């Protein structure tokens, strides 16, 4: 399977962000995008205040039930169906009454939803420069480890700050994951030092492919202050080798996910069978 990460520079307006995503996806599909596309975290509305986030979020339809689809949901489903590919939709704001979740959606080549995952770990930190982030003030936390099957593979779902919690990745490995997604809006400060090393470490310890689409550029937070995300979308193999990487700016990058290599690595070093704790 060939995978493509889509790197975007989103702001707070969903319609504008969808149009930008469509341009990058169309360009990728004109090339050799393969059969699996992945978008970044919160690409539909990054930044802004709670009222804007609620307005730009979507109430997700109940799987299998007839319900009105939001514009981002319909866009992701439509791309999957029209291109005949698996679409990992990064994450969008899921509205649940007056509450929000940071939620991943995955769609199969027929446009049907395969899985949804609510981000478990909330980014409540102060970075070295003193900038504070408190994701839990706006979003609720998920409580389920989620995998799904697509293209004959088992996909594991995480979002951004989840990357720092190896227990989640090991739980995905035990659930059969072969490819783990890490859609992100990593800060520049933490990204410079931790982004690549953590992604490669998670790949090595789980013996999975890691596909990490990221946001880049500057957006405005709830107080109008500029915040910058790191970009550097990346795909790496189960040995921790980088297969594809972007730098700054919107764009896309693709790589082949060689499942024969995954099987060879796991057979030669059967770490799952050797685990004694957890």
Q: Write out the catalytic residue numbers.
A: 41, 119, 160
Q: Could you write out the DSSP letters of every residue in 130-178?
A: S-EEEGGGTEEPP----EEEETTEEEEE--GGGGG-HHHHHHHHHTT-S
CA–CA distance, 84 with 185 (Å, rounded to integer): 27
CA–CA distance, 86 with 63 (Å, rounded to integer): 17
CA–CA distance, 248 with 219 (Å, rounded to integer): 14
CA–CA distance, 176 with 57 (Å, rounded to integer): 31
Whole-number CA gyration radius for the chain:
17
CA–CA distance, 59 with 55 (Å, rounded to integer): 10
Which residues contact residue 117 at a Cβ distance below 8 angstroms, ignoring those fewer than 6 apart?
103, 104, 142, 144, 146, 157, 158, 159
**Helices and strands, number each (H, E), in the chain:** 8, 18
Relative to beta strand 139-140, strand 226-230 is: unpaired
What stretch of H or E contains 106? strand 99-107
């Amino acid at each position: 399977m060939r995978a493509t990460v889509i790197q975007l520079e989103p702001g707070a307006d969903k319609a504008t962000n969808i149009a930008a995503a469509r341009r990058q996806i169309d360009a990728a599909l004109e090339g050799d995008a393969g059969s699996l596309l992945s978008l970044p975290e919160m690409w539909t509305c990054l930044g802004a205040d709670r009222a804007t986030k609620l307005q730009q979020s979507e109430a997700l339809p109940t799987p299998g039930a007839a319900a009105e689809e939001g514009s981002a949901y319909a866009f992701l489903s439509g791309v999957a169906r029209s291109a005949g590919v698996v679409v990992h939709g990064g994450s969008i704001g899921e509205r649940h009454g007056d509450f929000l979740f940071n939620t991943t959606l995955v769609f199969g080549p027929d446009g049907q939803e395969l899985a949804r995952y609510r981000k478990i770990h909330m980014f409540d930190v102060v970075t070295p420069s003193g900038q504070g982030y408190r994701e839990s003030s706006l979003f609720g936390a998920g409580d389920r480890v989620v995998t799904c099957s697509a293209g004959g593979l088992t996909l594991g779902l995480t979002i951004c700050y989840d990357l720092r919690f190896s227990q989640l990745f090991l739980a995905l490995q035990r659930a059969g994951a072969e490819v783990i997604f890490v859609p992100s809006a990593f800060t520049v400060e933490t990204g410079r030092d931790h982004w690549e090393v953590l992604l490669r470490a998670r790949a090595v310890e789980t013996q999975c492919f890691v596909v990490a689409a990221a946001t880049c550029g500057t957006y405005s937070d709830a107080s109008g202050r500029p915040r910058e995300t790191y970009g550097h979308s990346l795909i790496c193999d189960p040995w921790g080798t980088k297969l594809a990487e972007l730098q700054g700016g919107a764009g896309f990058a693709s790589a082949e996910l060689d499942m024969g290599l995954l099987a060879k690595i796991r057979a030669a070093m059967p770490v799952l069978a050797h685990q004694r704790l957890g």
